Amino acid sequence: MSELKGRKLVLGVTGGVAAYKAAELVRLLGKAGADVHVVLTEGGARFVTAVTFQALSGNPVWTDLWDPRMGNNMAHIDLTRDADAILIAPATADVMAKLTHGLADDLLTTLCLARDCPLLVAPAMNRQMWEHPATRRNAEQLAADGVTLFGPGAGEQACGEVGLGRMLEPEELCEAVIGFFQPKLLAGRRIVMTAGPTFEPIDPVRGITNSSSGKMAYGLARACVQAGAEVVLVSGPVALPVPMGARRVSVRSALEMREAVLTAVPGSDVFIGVAAVADYRPATSAEHKIKKSGAELAITLTPNPDILAEVAALPTPPFCVGFAAESRNLDEYAEGKRKAKKLPMVVGNLVQDGLGGDDNQVVLFDEAGRHPLPKAPKPEVARAIVAHLAALLPKN
Ligand code: C5P
């Protein structure tokens, strides 16, 4: 993925034990395409050396306000002039206090004061330091000053205590940085989405399901969160991590999915049916495991409710988006589905192009006609779907 391609980031590493995770963060940001320039404080350098960061970022590491390597001796100005953001991870209670009060007694804090780019801060400290009224005040003031705080998370701490104050994991921070740069096209919108396959029980241990991976829905949920939406993901059984910031409601059968959707939909702006809902379920599910007898066994199937059509037919429905994965006649089938289910928008794709790979090609269908999107990496396709959806939504 290259979601940070062309972005220059200054990564400040201060003196907390989570500094060791900053090494992995540099690797992940670099993998996402970012050009990372590390600034180590004196405390940070006690935990991880500059050599590690230089090797991982491929760039010189800066530690000193008076570093003579910068031609005009103004590292504190030049380093951020073409940067897209400064990210401090880990950020100690001390550096947060300094930033709050505009102190500038080392290279990192001076850079922050002299910057003309956004400042992102990932706090990392003992839970009592985080809960201390001084740190609470500082965090609030930083937010009021336009600084973006990522975390902290809760959990076991290096000191052995458990609580709030852990730095977010490098993967989460990388996600948060990618999300930070996305336009907030869905700010204030509440979106309910279905995902994955359903599992229709035959008996307590067997059932009918399908091979839906859930990747499209989870990718779209991530793009919606990054666009500022509140996302509820009603998901059938898949083993995918929940996109950061989305809330997953786990279900198994189509009936459970319908129940969860009808509970979540009131008050939502958008409903997106991405799940591959089973069209049929066994008419009855045996209470006990069916024993092998050697004789033929017939399972009677009964149709499942169409969740999307039901939501679209509510008296005041949210803006409904359907998916149509077809193996042929895409236009005819997708547009037919849109009309039959009375949907303002359908995302269609030809399955031989869309399954498994890193790229996807879709066509969007709405009242105005068909809108083919170029073949692109899936996160990019998800963003294009979000942009189209956002443009069609009534203004809030
Ligand atoms: O009619 P078809 O199953 O092809 O329509 C696909 C769309 O309808 C998808 O958006 C899917 O999530 C939704 N759907 C549903 N409930 C069903 C069947 C499909 O919500 N029982």
Average pLDDT value over all residues in the chain: 94
- Do the domains spanning 8-180 and 190-392 agree at the CATH topology level? yes
Q: Which atom of ligand 1 is nearest to the CA of 324?
A: 6
Give the list of residues 6+ apart from residue 47 with CB closer than 8 angstroms, or none: 15, 16, 17, 19, 20
The residues spanned by each domain of the chain are: 8-180, 190-392
Spacing, Cα 389 to ligand 1 middle (Å): 18
Can you name the residues that pair with 40 across neighbouring β-strands?
13
Nearest one of 385, 318, 377 to 348, comparing CA atoms: 385
DSSP one-letter code for 231: E
Tens of pLDDT, residue by residue over 63-83, are 988 887 877 667 667 788 899
Q: Which residues are catalytic?
A: 159
Q: In what helix (H) or strand (E) does residue 207 lie, and over which residues does it extend?
A: strand 206-208
Query: CA 182 from chain center: how many Å?
Result: 11
Mutate to test the pocket of ligand 1, among 192, 255, 262, 306 (most ligand atoms within 8 A of CB): 306
Q: Atom 1 in ligand 1: which residue has the minimum CA distance? A: 337
Identify the helix (H) or strand (E) that includes residue 257.
Answer: helix 254-264
Relative to beta strand 85-91, strand 8-13 is parallel
182-205: average pLDDT:
97
Query: Which strand ranges, in their side-by-side order, compose the sheet holding 148-149?
Result: 35-40, 8-13, 85-91, 119-123, 148-149
pLDDT exceeds cutoff 90 at 161: no
Going 95 to 100 to 101 to 105, the CA torsion angle's sign is positive
Share of the chain above pLDDT 90, in %: 85
How close is the Cα of 277 to the center of ligand 1, in Å?
6
Query: Cα–Cα distance between 273 and 263 in angstroms, integer?
Result: 15
Which is higher by pLDDT, 73 or 308? 308
Nearest residue (CA) to ligand 1, atom 2: 324
CB half-sphere exposure, 3, CA atoms < 13 A:
22
Query: 274: closest CA among 243, 245, 244, 234?
Result: 234
Question: Can you give the C-alpha Rg of the chain in angstroms?
Answer: 25
197 strand-pairing partners: 276
Output the pLDDT for position 163. 87
Quick one: pLDDT band at residue 354, thresholds 50, 70, 90? very low
The DSSP code for 284 is: S
**Among candidate residues 281, 257, 255, the one with its CA nearest the CA of residue 200:** 281
Question: 121 CB under 6 A from ligand 1?
Answer: no
What tokens were used for 95?
A: 């550096």
Domain covering 8-180 in this structure, CATH number: 3.40.50.1950
Distance CA 37, CA 12 (A): 9
Position 247: which residue type? R
Least confident of 11-15, 28-32, 75-79: 75-79
CB 307 less than 6 A from any atom of ligand 1: yes
340 CA: nearest ligand 1 atom:
1
- For 263-281, what is the mean pLDDT? 97
Q: What is the pLDDT of residues 363-395, one digit of tens each?
A: 999 999 999 999 998 889 999 999 999 999 998
Ligand 1 contact via 308 beta carbon (within 6 Å): yes
Expressed in angstroms and rounded, the spacing between residue 239 Cα and the centre of ligand 1 is 21
- Does any ligand 1 atom lie closer than 6 A to the CB of residue 311? no
CATH code of the region 190-392: 3.40.50.10300
Q: Record the pTM.
A: 0.90
Map tokens 């009534």 to a residue: 394
Separation of alpha carbons 115 and 83, rounded Å: 9
Question: Which SS3 state, helix, strand or coil, does residue 145 take?
Answer: coil
Determine the average pLDDT of the residues in 277-294. Answer: 95
CB of 123 within 8 A of CB of 151? yes
DSSP designation for 51: H
- Is 217 in contact with 195 (CB distance < 8 Å)? yes
- Residue 375 is given by DSSP the state P
